[in-house]
Every structure is written in C-alpha cells, then in structure tokens.
Amino acid sequence: MPFFNVDKLSISFGGLKALQDISFNVDKGEIFAIIGPNGAGKTTLFNCINGIYKPDSGSVLFKEKKMHGKKPDKIARLGLARTFQNIELFSHMNTMENIMLGRHIYIKTGIFHGATMWGRRSYAGKEEITHRRKVEEIIDFLDLQSVRNKFVGGLPYGTQKLIELGRALALEPELLLLDEPCAGMNSEEKQDMIFWIKDIQDELGITMLLIEHDMNMVMDISDRILVLNFGKSITEGTPQEVQRHPEVLKAYLGEDETVGHDS
C-alpha cells in the first residue's frame, strides 16, 4: 500500500469540472510536484486533500487511513500540514507566536494560558514548556533567531513565507503540502526557500506535495511531477519524463520558462 494515495478524485463547482478522476501515489520521503497553468485545479486538489473541500467522488488515503470527507483539523491530527498560496499569518503577532499557532492540535489548555502558570509546575506550565521547546527547535532549524520576537507584519516577504513554513512544521507533520512557496519571491529568497525545502526532505524526512510555477525549481527539487490542465491529469513522471511529454510542451512548457504566473 502506498504512503499516500489519491484515487479518481473529482469535484465540480456548478458546471465547472475543477478536478476529473485525478489519481496518483506518493512514496514516503518524496517531493511530489503538481504543476499546470492558472486555474488547472492545483489548489483545489490541495483543498480536497486537507478537507477544506469535500470531493464529489474518489478517495484520499494516507498510510491506509481514509482522509476524504474528514474535517481539516481531523486531517491535521493524522499528520498533514499545509501552507497557503497567499500568506496567512497574524501580522500583529511575533514570529514565535505565529509558529506556536501551528501547535494547536497538541495544545490542550489554551495557547498562552500556560504563561500565567509559568514556574508553578502546573500541567499547563509543563505543556507550554514542551511547545515552546518545539517552537525554538523550528526557529533554530529555519535560522529565524534574529526575528523571533518581531511582529511578522513588518518583516520581508520571504521571511514571512519562511515563518509560514515554520508554522506548518510546528504541527510535526508526516506529509506537508506547499502551495507555491516561492510565489512573489525575488531570486535570492527563492534560492533560500529551495534550500529549506531540500533540508526538510533530507534532515526531517518529511514527504512533500509541492505546487509551483517556477519550472527551474520544480525540475531541480522534485522526485516526480504530476501535470494538470483544465482539471485533468495530463501526465505523471520524473522531471526528465515530464519535460519531454508532447502534451506538456504544448499545454504548459512551450510558452515560457515560468508560465501563466499571475499570483
């Protein structure tokens, strides 16, 4: 049984078939990319996988457990985290606090309640120490020490995207969904993000699904790639296989290096 399996997944919005019979497997430890032009259905696929949308038909299995039809927080508890196409951080909270929010599935006594119990050896105090330790580990891992106490709203865009990644890691996921982690970044920020994604694969062994428009990046870091167009799967394979596929060349790669990227 594959680590992660999507089988004949379909969803429509009114008359629009946003996804039609999408099937693929992902092995543990892989970076599996999903590419395709704007409106192809990539984010919709993520929304079906993490429970924001309920697919009309088909199945999503993670380590043989059924995920389709479950609510997002239930799915998060099964070990799945994601980042969003647009930054969704709390701009008036600092880096630590934003990353701490990723611990929500583990927190039993209220996020900052423990702070008032500090030093009292209470259950809440001990729980908070554990969560803070985990958050500190992530801050160290992503090299965010210099901004740990800064409000995220005033930080550079690339740093905010990295903090979002940190928040997803705080969930200690086994499967991480990244929706355009490099969108809107300058080339230096992109290089940094590519480095972190590789590091997450190598050091933490986390399996990733990655939506990305930048073809250089996709070809560089993906183990396998699924190509969508108009809600349908065109092909799936290694970067070398996908690059040569005639339909991909026609539908996607033919025009430019980074195609149809307006987000």
Ligand X SMILES: Nc1ncnc2c1ncn2[C@@H]1O[C@H](COP(=O)(O)OP(=O)(O)OP(=O)(O)O)[C@@H](O)[C@H]1O
When asked if residue 18 is in the footprint of ligand X (CB under 6 A), the reply is yes
| Phi and psi angles of residue 13, each rounded to the nearest 5 degrees, phi first | -115, 105
Q: What residues from 55 to 94 belong to the interface with ligand X (CB under 6 A)?
A: 85
When asked if residue 42 is in the footprint of ligand X (CB under 6 A), the reply is yes
Among 8, 38, 73, 115, binds ligand X (CB under 6 A): 38
Residue 132 token pair: 């803070």
> By rule CB under 6 A, what count of residues binds ligand X?
13
Instruction: Choose the binding region for ligand X from 12-20, 127-135, 152-160, 249-257 (rule: CB under 6 A).
Output: 12-20
**Residue 138 exposure: Cα atoms within 13 Å on the Cβ side:** 28
Pairing of strands 31-35, 224-229: parallel
State the residues that interact with Mg ion by CB under 5 A.
42-43, 85
Shortest distance (Å) from residue 92 CB to ligand X = 27
DSSP letter string, 164-231: HHHHHHTT--SEEEEE-TTTT--HHHHHHHHHHHHHIIIII--EEEEE--BHHHHHHH-SEEEEEETT
When asked if residue 50 is in the footprint of ligand X (CB under 6 A), the reply is no
Please answer whether residues 212 and 35 qualify as being in contact, where contact means their C-beta atoms are separated by less than 8 angstroms.
yes
Of 34 and 147, CB closest to Mg ion: 34
Of 34 and 142, CB closest to Mg ion: 34
Shortest distance (Å) from residue 16 CB to ligand X = 6
Please answer whether residues 89 and 164 qualify as being in contact, where contact means their C-beta atoms are separated by less than 8 angstroms.
yes
When asked if residue 41 is in the footprint of ligand X (CB under 6 A), the reply is yes
When asked if residue 263 is in the footprint of ligand X (CB under 6 A), the reply is yes
When asked if residue 184 is in the footprint of ligand X (CB under 6 A), the reply is no
SS3 3: coil
When asked if residue 36 is in the footprint of ligand X (CB under 6 A), the reply is yes
